[in-house]
Amino acid sequence: MKRREILKTAGCVLFLPALESFGQNRSAPEHVAEQAGAKRLFCVSMGYGFFTDVLPQIDGADYTFSEHMEPLKKHREHFTLYSKMKFGGDHVRDHKCFVGNTTTNPDSLDQIVADHIGHLTRVRNVVTFISHAHHHIVASWRNRLPVMPIQSTRVLFETLFAKTDRKTQERLLAHKKSVLDGSLEEAKSLLTRVSDRDRQRLEEYFAALRESEQELNKSIEWLSNPRQDVEFPVAPQFENNFLASDVDKKRFLENPRQIQRGIAFDMIYKAFRFDITRVVNFYMTGLDNDHHLTTHNVPKSEEARTSLTKYDSSFFSLLSNFYNKLASTKSEYGETLMDETVTIATGNNSVSQTRGPHNGNEIPVFVAGGKFANHGGHLIRKGETTCDIYLSILQKFGIQRDQFGNSRQIIQL
């Protein structure tokens, strides 16, 4: 592992609340208006995948919503459903949804976009994970290294909104600067005593230190900017006619993990609203301890299939609630946050009666926001790779690339 890769990644792994102030003074609205229309990216993924047997089977603009998708009906014009796509995931790789393959892709989708727009906000990007105990907790990658996620709503709140007195921040930043300066001087002293090969490695090390120094200078600049006062979110209430019975409400909408997820969604919305960050990767797995077992029982149990539609519908409640907030909030540039925010919701794999759990062959992807042309419709892209969507989204951010993972083509979104 190269020193430069370790150092460049450390800035995201060691994510200090109120101190990872990657950014520069906000550009004027006129400048931003000249940039690509997409200004924010929200990647959210379900580790166990969606139950694809109950998703719409007919494509086109007048496709019929499945009953369990009822919470999303009012936002039909805001999103496109792509289905029967291929990811190649399984139980082991289900968390690599937005990176495709770390062999060919050193960075996940969110990190590439953060490299492009992360400097515009105080917090470069956010990676978070909320679920029950699970060993696949990393969904974001930078320089082939995993970016460790925030796993607590309290820590997430402190990272985004907590205020630290200026003297404390100045002292900590000064300490960080002295460590960087010391590392630079120590490395320089070695230049005259090492081989040509080691000298090349030291040059890479210097480059990484210079990048760290630039990020530190941006952090210092943000000290003078006032922070937004935000109260910790209250427990959200979800409207879902598919889960109308008291039993279903209690199990799927009012359980502690669903509430915790709803609180995280609200924090992400507020972070976008107050322009604290513009890139978020949110990974989640089971809603409760039975969720995983239910996916394995789908091939043999009608009860499990019915139960899984309810698990999925609880997730659609989260999405609908989030879409409500984006669509009803005007940005400072005259559009809604929905117009300016690209949301990608997908399962890292899928579940079906014939293929069973954790298969990567019939993946649905919900792409919302960005005022894309296909919104309102359902597109079946059988066997095509989800990386085609991700490559096409990168272009919407003005990022020109020929390949992302196993992508084969740019598609019209």
Statement: residue 216 has pLDDT above 70: no
CA dihedral 354, 357, 358, 364 (to 10 degrees): 70
Statement: residue 93 has pLDDT above 50: yes
- Is 412 domain-assigned? no
- Average confidence score pLDDT of the chain: 81
**What CA–CA distance (Å, rounded) separates 245 from 240?**
10
Name the most confidently modeled range: 5-9, 193-197, 220-224: 193-197
Q: Are residues 184 and 330 in the same domain?
A: no
Q: Are residues 158 and 269 in the same domain?
A: yes
- Is 404 domain-assigned? no
What does each C-alpha distance from 343 to 25, 59, 299 come to in angstroms? Answer: 26, 21, 31
- Is 234 domain-assigned? yes
- Is 257 domain-assigned? yes
Confidence of residue 177 (pLDDT cuts 50, 70, 90): low
Place of tokens 């989204």: 393
Tell me the per-residue pLDDT of 14-41, one tens digit each, with 9 for 90 and over.
332 333 333 333 343 334 334 456 899 9
**What CA–CA distance (Å, rounded) separates 46 from 59?**
23
The H or E element spanning position 215 is helix 196-222
Q: Which of 208, 226, 244 is the last residue of a domain?
A: 226
DSSP-based three-state secondary structure for 295: helix
Residue 282's domain is classified under what CATH number?
3.40.720
Pick the more confident residue, 191 or 170: 191
Q: Are residues 40 and 50 in the same domain?
A: yes
Contact 160, 277 (CB under 8 A): yes
Q: Which of 205, 226, 247 is the last residue of a domain?
A: 226
Say which range, 168-172, 279-283, 292-296, has the weakest mean pLDDT: 168-172
Q: Are residues 129 and 270 in the same domain?
A: yes
Say which range, 148-152, 209-213, 261-265, 322-326, has the weakest mean pLDDT: 209-213
- Is 281 domain-assigned? yes
Q: What is the pTM of this model?
A: 0.80
What is the CA 170 to chain-centroid distance, rounded?
30
Confidence of residue 266 (pLDDT cuts 50, 70, 90): very high
pLDDT exceeding 90 applies to what percent of the chain? 47
Which residue range is the domain that position 201 belongs to?
Answer: 1-23+165-226
Q: Are residues 199 and 124 in the same domain?
A: no
Pick the more confident residue, 75 or 46: 75
The H or E element spanning position 259 is helix 256-273
Q: What's the pLDDT score for residue 33? A: 35
Count of structural domains within the chain: 2
Strands (E) in 100-179, as ranges, are 126-130, 141-142, 145-146
Pairing of strands 141-142, 145-146: antiparallel
- Is 410 domain-assigned? no
